[in-house]
């Protein structure tokens, strides 16, 4: 597709962190969770993976599953060491005769040693068993110190807690149309001085070569004082927009992607928080408008924000006049 005269006069930007060579890109640039859609290689995995960052950003369910697996694995390892060093060197375990009974005695003694609980019913006896127990106690202290720090870090890490509408809409707006998406906070935090920045990525043909062009999208309101309810972010598609005169087919051909960055000040964290996401051309709905997602309570004393309606919309007829083609 040839570059339109409108985009020829608009200045693209090159500070997005992504290159202009579309031929080496794989899929979307930014995942819906805001992470870059890329994989790194060329150096050993233990050098390119940060364990701290991985555990800090891991899903909560995965994190606690990891802790459980780590805890069980360490206890199994030391249970085998106690067993092969001789269960007879664990006083209080004399009544265990079968393999299962002896191994379970060793396993639970290991868990008591690792957590430094030490009930006292079973105790190590002999140099080898005492050395194993001493090493396990040290490992237990170190591991629980690290895990405590990680849990605190995950709990206290500043986050925006924003939810975005799964789709971006092309809706009637003023005398034409606009690109719209919606966001809201889903926790009981309060965000102020909220700023939004939208960047459009277009994959275009220039001189027989596919290149990626990035354009900033001007917003009706780029900043609001407070995000108490929901915020519909609006980009007016007029003569100054890189999407001006774009048809639905051209949007799909250009593999349009809208990169969204929202920054705000969180009163609870007393810190600036940020969250980003992106929308591909497959998530664009043409001829639709968002429906209200908040209402007054029956008592009239407060407002109800229904977060499950973040993407609630209805189809509408788009205007058919100059600069706004019917199929868009």
Domains held by the chain: number = 2
Supply the pLDDT for residue 325: 45
Distance between CA 241 and CA 235 in Å, rounded?
Answer: 8
Residue-range definition of the domain harbouring residue 288:
159-315
pLDDT tens column, 22-44: 555 667 888 888 888 888 888 88
Mean pLDDT of the chain: 87
Distance between CA 122 and CA 107 in Å, rounded?
Answer: 11
Domain containing residue 192: CATH number: 2.60.40.1400
Of 156, 183, 202, the residue at which a domain comes to its end is 156
Of 136, 156, 176, the residue at which a domain comes to its end is 156
Of 120, 136, 156, the residue at which a domain comes to its end is 156
By CB atoms closer than 10 A (0-12, 13-18, 19+), residue 259 is buried
166 and 304 in a single domain? The answer is yes
Supply the pLDDT for residue 148: 92
Distance between CA 278 and CA 14 in Å, rounded?
Answer: 18
pLDDT tens column, 229-247: 999 999 999 988 999 888 8
Supply the pLDDT for residue 210: 78
- 80 conformational bin, left if phi > 0, alpha if psi -120 to 50, beta if neither: alpha
- The 3-state DSSP class for residue 83 equals helix
Question: Per the domain annotation, does 27 fall within a domain?
Answer: no
Supply the pLDDT for residue 132: 94
65 and 197 in a single domain? The answer is no
117 and 90 in a single domain? The answer is yes
Question: Per the domain annotation, does 20 fall within a domain?
Answer: no
Q: Could you tell me which of 97, 98, 86 has the C-alpha nearest to residue 124?
A: 86
178 and 80 in a single domain? The answer is no
**Phi and psi of 111, rounded to 5°?**
-65, -35
- For residue 230, the cross-strand partners are 184
Residue 9: which pLDDT band, with cuts at 50, 70 and 90? Answer: low
Strand segments, DSSP code E, in the chain are: 90-91, 123-124, 162-164, 168-173, 176-185, 191-206, 209-217, 223-226, 230-236, 257-266, 271-280, 284-286, 288-290, 294-296, 303-305, 313-315
Distance between CA 36 and CA 80 in Å, rounded?
Answer: 43
Supply the pLDDT for residue 2: 43
Q: Is the pLDDT of residue 323 over 50?
A: no
Specify the pTM: 0.78
pLDDT tens column, 88-128: 888 888 788 899 999 999 999 999 999 988 888 888 898 99
Supply the pLDDT for residue 324: 44
Distance between CA 296 and CA 284 in Å, rounded?
Answer: 30
Domain containing residue 117: CATH number: 1.10.287.70
C-alpha dist (Å) from residue 66 to 47, 141, 161 = 21, 18, 24
């Amino acid at each position: 597709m040839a570059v339109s005269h409108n985009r020829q006069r608009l200045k693209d930007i090159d500070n997005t962190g992504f290159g202009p060579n579309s031929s080496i890109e794989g899929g979307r640039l930014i995942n819906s969770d805001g992470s870059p859609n890329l994989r790194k290689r060329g150096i050993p995995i233990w050098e390119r993976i940060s364990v701290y960052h991985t555990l800090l950003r891991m899903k909560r369910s995965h994190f606690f599953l990891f802790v459980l697996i780590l805890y069980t694995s360490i206890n199994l390892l030391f249970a085998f060491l106690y067993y092969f060093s001789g269960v007879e060197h664990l006083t209080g375990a004399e009544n265990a005769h079968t393999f299962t009974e002896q191994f379970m005695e060793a396993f639970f003694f290991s868990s008591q040693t690792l957590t430094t609980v030490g009930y006292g019913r079973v105790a190590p006896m002999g140099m080898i068993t005492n050395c194993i127990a001493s090493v396990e106690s040290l490992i237990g202290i170190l591991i629980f110190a690290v895990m405590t720090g990680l849990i605190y870090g995950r709990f206290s890490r500043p986050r925006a807690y924003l939810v975005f509408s799964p789709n971006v809409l092309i809706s009637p707006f003023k005398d034409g149309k606009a690109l719209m998406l919606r966001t809201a906070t889903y926790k009981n935090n309060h965000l102020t001085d909220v700023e939004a920045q939208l960047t459009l990525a277009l994959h275009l043909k220039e001189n027989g070569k596919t290149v990626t062009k990035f354009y900033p999208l001007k917003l009706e309101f780029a900043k609001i004082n407070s995000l108490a309810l929901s915020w519909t972010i609006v980009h007016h598609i007029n003569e100054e927009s890189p999407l001006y005169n774009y048809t639905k087919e051209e949007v799909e051909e250009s593999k349009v992607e809208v990169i969204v960055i929202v920054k705000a000040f969180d009163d609870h964290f007393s810190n600036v928080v940020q969250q980003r996401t992106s929308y591909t051309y497959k998530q664009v709905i043409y001829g639709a408008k968002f429906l209200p997602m908040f209402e007054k309570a029956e008592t009239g004393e407060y407002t109800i924000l229904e977060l499950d309606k973040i993407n609630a919309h209805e189809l509408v007829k788009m205007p058919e006049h100059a600069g706004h083609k019917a199929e868009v």
